[in-house]
Chain A
Amino acid sequence: MTEPTSVPKSEKPKVAFYWCASCGGCEETVVDLAEKVLDVVAAVDIVFWPVALDFKRKDVEAMPDGAILASFMNGAIRTTEQEEMAHLLRQKSKVLVALGSCAQLGGIPGLANLWSRASIFEAVYQESPSTVNPEGTVPKSFYREDGRCVSLPGFFDTVRTLDQVVDVDYYLPGCPPTPKILQQAVGALLSGALPPKGTVLALDTALCEECPRKDTRPEKLTLTAFKRPHELVIDAEKCLLAQGVVCLGPATRGGCEALCPQGNMPCTGCFGPTSRVQDFGAKALSSVASIVESNDEKEIDRILDTIPDPVGTFYRYSLPAALLRRKKVRMAA
């Protein structure tokens, strides 16, 4: 990270937002600050925010290194353009914040790590029922015609988290992060009261600790079948896990105020692991498997088979950050 260059005292601190491989929900978090966004705008200059403002990449390139106080980047790194923007914003910013699950852990786009680029292109440009592509045309990085050259960003084989590409200072977890934790982070940035580098700016306890259903959780919780939310009428008061729904609250970092359990839906783990866990999926799997009520292998399998998709369930937001990173692919020697 480059040393900050001298900025006139009268200028407001500069902030940037950028969007990589994600759905756009994290941008919505900024909008969801509602009238509080005015406080933010009053305190900072937003110098780059492609989804809302008309500044271009060249404007960022023209800034001195470290000129931006903080850049909030959401989304995983899927294309070469996103990688370039990550490097550019890293260079121009004093603080780089990974905003949301995709930037922090890979997120839903990270589940593409179960496939390769070739199989994704085949599915999207050949096999999908609505595709008519007899010539097998697929996107190319460069195309030349009549002396002109058009280019598209390259598509990586593997989805990466932001910190697998550049140095990241802070993480705001969530799919998307709640406006509240974003606002707290902006407040901390402006006041200069920053926690140690690498901190995830949310609680460091399990979600169950702030879940309103916590007291209904039985002392010894065991299950003979797991149910998906559409397979039962969910009781609005009782612990979701005790009802047989795969709720990942025990393995997930708190800080969202248990929004999903309050909306009668189980936690799917978007806030990721606490600081003491390295691989979210492995730990979530461990906590869910150990409450199976049987000692017989066949019966255990029958109960666990009611979880149809282990990788999609336990690594829903974190496959690129997992110890294994992606499904095994054949690599060139």
Chain B
Amino acid sequence: MPEAKPGLKEGGRNGFEPKIVAFFCNWCTYLAADLAGTSRMKYAPNIRVIRTMCSGRVDPQFVLDAFAKGADGVLIGGCHPGDCHYQEGNYKALRRFRLLKRLAKEMGIEDERLRLEWISASEADRLKVAVNDMVEKVRALGPLRLETMVERFPEEVTV
């Protein structure tokens, strides 16, 4: 995962620049991101891509850990239904994702901050649209700042 450029966290021209952790599967969405790069497509630079072998490998712990450590959003990318390299890893990802969304909402994390997209290796354009759209929505929500809450948690004092 590339380090955030200095200043990116504090914001570009509009103030706040969201940090989004993206878990992309090795066989589809990661290749789409690769294709977007080699095709010199331009899209929001706010995602930090982590390659996993399959979207089904994305443990809900990874997602919560990303939020707890300062991510403003988490994007999971996998193969289209029926196209999973491991037959049905993406369906497992979908089932976990649907329940995790409800849990995250109960914990005060807005819906738009957690997103699942099916993007095949050839769909660089779809990746660009999805990332831009998510960045825009998370930017509108503002920073999540869970890391401040988690860090300050042990020192919290009463009044």
Q: Which residues of A contact B (CB under 8 A)?
A: 80, 114, 117, 141, 154-158, 160, 164-165, 277-279, 281-283, 285-286, 288-290, 292, 294-295, 297, 300-301, 304, 307, 310-311, 314, 322-329, 331
Contacts and interface: CB of A to CB of B under 8 A. Distances in A.
A310 B154 contact: no
Contact of B149 (A141, A155, A289, A325): A325
Given A155-B158, A157-B156, A328-B109, A304 B61 contact: no
B133 interface: no
Given A323-B61, A323-B68, 9 more contacts: A156-B156, A165-B154, A278-B61, A283-B59, A324-B64, A324-B107, A325-B153, A326-B149, A329-B149
**Most chain A beta-carbon neighbours within 10 Å: one of B61, B65, B146:** B61
10 contacts: A114-B107, A277-B61, A282-B59, A282-B63, A285-B100, A288-B99, A297-B94, A311-B106, A324-B107, A325-B153
A326 B107 CA distance: 7
A279 B150 CA distance: 14
User: Taking chain B's interface residues, is the majority helix, strand, or loop, or is none over half, making it mixed?
Assistant: helix
Given A117-B158, A156-B158, A323-B61, A331 B96 contact: no
A281 B104 CA distance: 11
A295 B156 contact: no
B30 interface: no
A327 B94 contact: no
Interface of B: 59-61, 63-65, 67-68, 81, 88, 91-92, 94-96, 98-100, 102-103, 106-109, 144-146, 148-150, 152-154, 156-159
A304 B99 contact: yes
A169 B94 CA distance: 40
Contact of A285 (B60, B65, B88, B146): B60
Given A295-B81, A300-B95, A310 B156 contact: no
Contacts of B150: 323-325
B107 A328 contact: yes
A156 B155 CA distance: 10
Contacts of B158: 80, 117, 141, 154-157
A310 B102 contact: yes
B154 A327 contact: no
Contacts of A294: 95
A307 B99 contact: yes
Contacts of B98: 289, 297, 300-301, 304
A328 B146 contact: yes
Nearest to A327: B108
B103 A285 contact: yes
Given A155-B158, A157-B158, A311-B106, A331 B152 contact: yes
Given A155-B158, A282-B64, A323-B65, A329 B108 contact: yes
B22 to A, nearest CB: 19
A91 B98 CA distance: 46
B102 A304 contact: yes
Contacts of A164: 153-154
Contact of A324 (B145, B146, B152, B154): B146
Contact of B64 (A295, A297, A307, A323): A323
A331 B148 contact: yes
Contacts of A288: 99
Contacts of A295: 81, 88, 91, 94
Nearest to A283: B61
Given A286-B59, A327-B108, A331-B145, A160 B99 contact: no
Nearest to A307: B99
B83 to A, nearest CB: 12
A289 B144 contact: no
A314 B25 CA distance: 27
Nearest to B102: A310
B55 to A, nearest CB: 12
Contacts of B99: 285, 288-289, 304, 307, 310
Nearest to A309: B106
